[in-house]
């Protein structure tokens, strides 16, 4: 796990500039620094040593003839198999790293190499002979890749902040991204919060030559249900495939640990990975905000030592500017801060941890996936439900009315992901600025179009796999782990696991129980939960049945306390807030929440986090963290 940055070379002091850019991402790789500069390009790399920890693994790496130069962030779990094939083809390796297979794999297979890989990756190869830059990002977007073209200069790297040190970089706020963010709670489009800075989408590669950028997709997720296997057979297939993935994800020359919450995902990983240590954080003493009470007994049951930390409100709030600095773009997911603290806890003991990200998107784990066909009302004709919806929309919003409004919409109209903060109407009412931000449905439509013949659960999963997971879940996983110089590996996000999960019938992903069965009327990740129950100690049975919490954070409670109410109110009345928003409406949201008129905590948090981020990147120039 590492970080890289670079640019096409149109400046005289490229060595000085590259060093400054690398300094901004030192946290991604504190073990070593390397660079390559010629008349055409400057490449820089920071290394966190995981495989072949000797100096021979330092980057940039070069082909035997010196014509190809590589900088790479990630891990290739099947590199030994690819390496053997390349040795048979006549290539000679100088190191034992997984990185070197990318150089000779590219030389042998070109872009076709990407579909041979199993792992998480983001990398750049400079072809000196053809004056070509080849860049690629992994299947799910586990590792980041940003790029920007400023005049004649093309920049690329693991984090946007490295670009700030380049003299050709023009720092401007992308106000369209702000309006989109107010709905999604993250930046959902390819252009980032920095104007003219873009994210390379997951499962894509680019070729940059003669000033032209060509981007192509190399891999697609395709859901095609296989109705032949029985439920028991699916459970066994999940077990076998996931064991194989965990084994692959443990390849390292250093110790590997695991995060552990009260949920089935991390419990499943921790139980079968045979790591030595598990790590858990929580808030206060209430079970709904603190999963340590669940994690410690489970860790004992699997024979592992659990390290835990209770996060104090003061340190949570005081960390926000630093965390938004590391995030590059504002992310209003309160769990991101909790993730920072558990990464920090783990980094005191080791360099690599396993985590359960991706299980919900792949196996159908979010509670919202239970909504389609969950009631008798869903069986009514679509036209009738839409008619009732239009009548309901004329009444003031409350729980009963909202039910008829929601059920009268197609999934494409009502679901944009796991967060829906402000509607287009509400966000425009808050904003003073005018942008050309698209309607949320225009952003989600290209994904829905690819699965228009699928059931609603599959549509929701497909959308989350492409938007929510990359834009929120994996963004915070990468940035919060790297802020602590920690490698985070996600064995659920393996293309072999995805290939299997894409064939599981929907009824084995989300199943609805009869009323006579009692308890929750639905079970998400149904087949996966049964596999976890089969593979792990008895304590998993209780964990597997537990409702998903994620990283529960008590911001709803904190925002009613004087200290944090006043902290947010000060931000809502700041000059920056007055520039972007009708601040009286922001304060009204805060006051209504404090008075108990509505739970506005997530909306307040979305607004507040943007202001924190803006203060770091635009109001406090080049603040160091």
Rounded CA separation 409/563 (Å): 41
Rounded CA separation 578/430 (Å): 11
**DSSP letter at 547?**
P
Question: What DSSP assignment string belongs to 415-471?
Answer: -SSS---S-HHHHHHHBSS---PPPHHHHHHHHHHHTTTS-HHHHHHHHHHHTHIII
Q: Tokens 């104007």 correspond to what residue?
A: 195
Residues designated catalytic: 2
Three-state secondary structure call for residue 123:
strand
Identify which of 270, 6, 24 has the alpha carbon closest to the alpha carbon of residue 145: 6
- Cα-Cα end-to-end distance for the chain: 21
Rounded CA separation 229/237 (Å): 10
Q: From residue 601, how far is each of 33, 349, 560, 594 by CA, in Å?
A: 42, 35, 9, 9
Report helix angle 335-347 to 320-327, nearest 10. Answer: 90
Rounded CA separation 127/429 (Å): 51
Q: From residue 39, how far is each of 43, 157, 618 by CA, in Å?
A: 12, 19, 33
Q: Tell the burial category of 335 from Cβ atoms under 10 Å away from its Cβ (0-12, 13-18, 19+).
A: middle
As separate numbers, helices (DSSP H) first and strands (DSSP E) second, the chain gives: 28, 19
- 93-127 b/e (C-beta count within 10 Å ≥ 16 → b): eeebbbbbbbbbbbbbbeeebbeebbbbbbbbbbb
**DSSP letter at 581?**
B
Cβ neighbours of residue 369 under 8 Å, at least 6 residues apart?
A: 457, 460, 461, 509, 510, 524
């Amino acid at each position: 796990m590492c970080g890289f940055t670079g640019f096409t070379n149109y400046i005289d002091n490229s060595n000085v500039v590259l060093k400054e850019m690398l300094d901004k991402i030192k946290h991604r790789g504190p073990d070593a620094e390397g660079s390559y500069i010629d008349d055409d390009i400057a490449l820089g790399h920071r290394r966190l040593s995981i495989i072949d920890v000797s100096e021979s693994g330092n980057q940039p790496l070069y082909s035997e003839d010196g014509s190809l130069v590589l900088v790479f962030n990630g891990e290739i779990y099947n590199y030994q198999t690819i390496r053997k094939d390349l040795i048979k083809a006549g290539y000679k390796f100088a190191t034992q790293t997984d990185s070197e297979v990318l150089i000779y794999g590219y030389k042998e297979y070109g872009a076709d190499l990407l579909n041979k890989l199993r792992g998480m990756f983001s990398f750049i190869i400079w072809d000196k002979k053809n004056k070509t830059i080849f860049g690629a990002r992994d299947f799910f977007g586990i590792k980041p890749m940003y790029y920007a073209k400023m005049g004649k200069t093309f920049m690329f790297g693991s984090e946007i902040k490295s670009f700030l040190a380049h003299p050709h970089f023009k720092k401007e706020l992308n106000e369209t991204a702000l309006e989109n963010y107010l709905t999604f709670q993250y930046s959902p489009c390819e252009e980032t919060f920095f104007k003219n800075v873009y994210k390379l989408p997951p499962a894509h590669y680019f070729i940059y030559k003669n000033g032209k950028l060509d981007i192509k997709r190399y891999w697609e997720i395709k859901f095609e249900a296989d109705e032949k296997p029985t439920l028991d057979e699916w459970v066994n297939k999940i077990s076998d495939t996931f064991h194989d993935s965990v084994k692959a994800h443990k390849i390292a020359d250093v110790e590997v640990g695991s995060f552990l919450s009260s949920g089935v995902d991390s419990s499943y990983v921790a139980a079968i990975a045979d790591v030595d240590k598990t790590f858990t954080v929580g808030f206060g003493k209430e079970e709904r905000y603190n999963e340590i009470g669940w994690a410690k007994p489970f860790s004992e049951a699997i024979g592992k030592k659990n390290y835990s930390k209770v996060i104090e409100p003061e340190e949570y709030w005081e960390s926000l500017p630093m965390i938004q600095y590391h995030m590059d773009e504002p992310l209003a997911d309160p769990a991101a801060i909790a993730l920072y603290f558990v990464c920090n806890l783990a980094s005191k003991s080791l360099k690599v941890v396993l985590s359960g990200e991706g299980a919900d998107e792949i196996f159908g784990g979010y509670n919202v996936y239970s909504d389609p066909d969950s009631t008798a009302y869903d069986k009514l004709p679509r036209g009738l439900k839409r008619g009732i919806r239009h009548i309901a929309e004329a009444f003031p919003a409350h729980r009963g009315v909202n039910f008829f409004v929601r059920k009268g919409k197609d999934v494409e109209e009502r679901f944009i992901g796991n967060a829906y903060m402000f509607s287009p109407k509400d966000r425009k009412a808050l904003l003073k600025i005018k942008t050309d931000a698209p309607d949320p449905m225009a952003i989600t439509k290209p994904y829905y179009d690819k699965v228009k013949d699928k059931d609603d659960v599959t549509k929701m999963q497909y959308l989350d796999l492409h938007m929510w997971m990359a834009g929120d879940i994996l963004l915070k996983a990468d940035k919060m782990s790297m802020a602590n110089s920690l490698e985070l590996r996600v064995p659920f996000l393996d293309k072999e696991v995805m290939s299997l999960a894409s064939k599981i019938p929907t009824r084995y992903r989300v199943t609805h129980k009869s009323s006579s069965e009692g308890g929750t009327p639905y079970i998400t990740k149904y087949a996966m939960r049964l596999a976890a129950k089969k593979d792990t100690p008895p304590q998993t049975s209780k964990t597997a049945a537990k409702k998903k919490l994620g990283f529960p954070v008590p911001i709803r409670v904190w925002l009613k306390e004087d200290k944090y109410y006043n902290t947010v109110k000060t931000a809502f009345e700041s000059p920056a807030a007055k520039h972007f928003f009708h601040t009286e409406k922001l304060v009204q949201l805060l006051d209504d929440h404090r008075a108990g008129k509505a739970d506005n905590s997530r909306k307040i948090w979305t607004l507040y986090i943007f202001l924190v981020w803006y203060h770091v990147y635009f109001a406090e120039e080049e603040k160091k963290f």
